Amino acid sequence: GENVGLHLPTLSVQEGDNSIINCAYSNSASDYFIWYKQESGKGPQFIIDIRSNMDKRQGQRVTVLLNKTVKHLSLQIAATQPGDSAVYFCAENPNTGNQFYFGTGTSLTVIP
Amino acid sequence: KAGVTQTPRYLIKTRGQQVTLSCSPISGHRSVSWYQQTPGQGLQFLFEYFSETQRNKGNFPGRFSGRQFSNSRSEMNVSTLELGDSALYLCASSQGQGNTEAFFGQGTRLTVV
């Protein structure tokens, strides 16, 4: 499958700090990306998406940055809270219907 | 609006048996994709159905199959179960043709003994 990889498998941050989760993708044809959050025992939860015609998109406390030149995606979480502790996945869609390729995931732990 | 519903939530089967999992997408969504999640392989795409037709297929053996009904509900079937089929099976619902938000259900945890 596609090589969608995350740079860090685990990340620990203090409550209130900002978190940055990174993702590298390999298919330059991918034009749609989603970040998901998965808590233990639950399915992935949609956080934010971005299309390849944008390089930044903001949501509530989250920002996704896309650098197509180096095929890099990042998720920034502002003022990280204990409820943000979860595994975060990036997913890319190389314009093949709704088939997504997922990264391996980064486990975020928020320290109170 | 109800989310994606998968049934059953948990399942225990014996090697060699077959299993059918069900997914009801969000109302109005016509695309359903299935994924297998394991600790070792992560989230891997199985197949996608759109308007009752399989549109994309991942790299899984023929023991894994699926179908979609006219109301967009989908089922996946795994025949001749192997221990390695133990996993969380997730379905994702999307509205349209492609490149649209995909929302996941809670998954079905399948254990093969």
Beta bridge partners of A63: A58, A76
Q: How far is A8 from chain B (nearest CA, A)?
A: 15
CB A97 to CB B48 under 8 A? yes
Please give the pLDDT value at position A48. Answer: 97
Of chain A, the percentage scoring pLDDT greater than 90 comes to 75
User: Is residue A7 pLDDT above 50, yes or no?
Assistant: no
Q: How far is A95 from chain B (nearest CA, A)?
A: 6
Question: Each residue of A54-72: b (16+ CB within 10 Å) or e?
Answer: eeeeeeeebbbbbeeeebe
User: Is residue A102 pLDDT above 80, yes or no?
Assistant: yes
Type of residue numbered B39? P
pLDDT tier, B1 (very low <50, low <70, confident <90, very high otherwise): low
Please give the pLDDT value at position A4. Answer: 52
Please give the pLDDT value at position B44. Answer: 94
Query: Residue B59 has which token pair?
Result: 């790299």
Query: Residue B102 has which token pair?
Result: 């995909």
Q: How far is A6 from chain B (nearest CA, A)?
A: 12
B95 touches chain A (CB under 8 A): no
In whole angstroms, give the CA distance from residue B101 to residue B108.
Answer: 21
DSSP code at position B25: P
pLDDT tier, A104 (very low <50, low <70, confident <90, very high otherwise): confident
Please give the pLDDT value at position A103. Answer: 87
Q: Give A4 or B74, the one with higher predicted confidence.
A: B74
Q: In the predicted model, what is the mean pLDDT of chain A?
A: 90
CB-CB neighbors (< 8 A) of B58 in chain A:
1, 99
User: Is residue A5 pLDDT above 50, yes or no?
Assistant: no
Q: B47-95 pLDDT, tens per residue?
A: 999 999 998 899 999 999 999 999 999 999 999 999 999 999 999 999 8
Q: A44-53 pLDDT, tens per residue?
A: 999 999 999 9
